[in-house]
Homo-oligomer: A and B are copies of this chain.
């Protein structure tokens, strides 16, 4: 990548900040699901897997529902690379937790991508 702009534009960029891999998940849980227990379990699972570089999550408190399309929770994980992500995906603790998580999900959206980090 490596964008270049006019001299007057302050640029935080890119070339040296590529290389990671992001796994961003957005979820709507089924009615009646114990969401707090589930997210605590997720935090515990992710915390215990060293392949995960960073992890943050949150519940939408934003604007109108048409912008979130019914989704409520976002889970953002980063990895040092695709290999680390693959190792996380196939980690026994992850596979085991998915058996709890998947049945609780009404809708899920996943984007996996090597990020361009513009501002860090």
Contact = CB atoms under 8 A, between A and B. Distances in A.
A119 interface: yes
A54 to B, nearest CB: 5
How many copies the complex holds: the figure is: 2
A116 interface: yes
Given A5-B47, A9-B44, A76-B24, A54 B120 contact: yes
Nearest to A5: B44
B5 A56 contact: no
Nearest to A82: B61
Contacts of A112: 60-63
Interface string A18-49: 00001010100000000000001001101110
A110 B67 contact: yes
Contact of A9 (B11, B47, B74): B47
Given A5-B47, A108-B67, A109-B69, A58 B118 contact: no
A97 interface: no
Given A47-B11, A76-B24, A71 B116 contact: no
A116 B57 contact: yes
